[in-house]
Copies of this chain bind each other. A is one copy, B any other.
Amino acid sequence: MSPSATMKRKNGVALWRQIADRIRGEIAAGDHDETGMLPPEMTLAQKFGVNRHTVRSAIAALASEGILEPMQGRGTIIARKERLSFPISLRTRFTAGIGDQVKEMEALLLSHITEPANADLAARLQLPLGTPLIRLETLRKADTRPVSRSTTWFPADRFAGIGEAYQKSGSITAAFKMLGVADYVRISTVISASHADTRDLADLELSPGAILLITQALNADMDGVPVQYAISRFSADTVEFTVEN
């Protein structure tokens, strides 16, 4: 069957791509500012003269860009975003870093186990292979909205009970203090970006296609001895990082 009376494929560009571009343009032009919502899929399909599924392809693409948020039964809302700015420095501290940008911070301990260091972890923490490590899985929220999910490893012999200390205080800094580390510094941070997997979507309450900023951070005490290695996954819609020199 012929595609459409009003739109056709032009120079190899798929119909749904053309429609995505037009919708993106409409939003940028402020056409839907009154409602803050996109018209129903059927309406758009008629307007562009295509099948509903073709419109859905376009909406899915824009949703994965974070521009739209389709909600079953309600409609498709147009996303507005403002990011938390998270400073990375010698004394990177989660709570202190973004504390003034939100009203309330929350830290949840999801799990808490001891495991032997594999080759990668052993090298990073400068410990012999197989050294027991405490692994914490934590979730951080700002104003009830999930911001990051972290996996953190500590040398188990030196920091026995850090899971409980963290759960009580809700802060790594406070937990360290209880265990005799008065101060610590960020040695290195590796920043990358990736798509969210199923687990991220659930924990961070994201929609499929969301993207993450990922940090791999190594902290050491004031003698330069590694005390903590952490991989944190942040919703890229929610945060950005700042490096001041």
**Which residues of A are at the interface with B, using a C-beta cutoff of 8 A?**
17, 21, 24, 61, 64-66, 83, 85, 88-90, 185-195, 197-198, 208-209, 211-213, 236, 240-245
Contacts and interface: CB of A to CB of B under 8 A. Distances in A.
A45 to B, nearest CB: 18
Secondary structure at the A interface, as helix, strand, loop or mixed, is: strand
A189 B242 contact: yes
Contact of A240 (B191, B212, B236): B191
A213 B191 contact: yes
A190 B245 contact: no
Given A185-B245, A209-B64, A211-B211, A17 B198 contact: yes
29 contacts: A17-B198, A24-B197, A61-B208, A64-B64, A64-B195, A64-B209, A83-B192, A88-B243, A90-B245, A185-B245, A186-B245, A188-B242, A188-B243, A188-B244, A188-B245, A189-B242, A189-B243, A190-B240, A190-B243, A191-B191, A191-B213, A191-B242, A192-B213, A192-B236, A193-B212, A194-B211, A195-B211, A209-B209, A243-B243
A95 B236 CA distance: 27
Contacts of A195: 64-66, 211
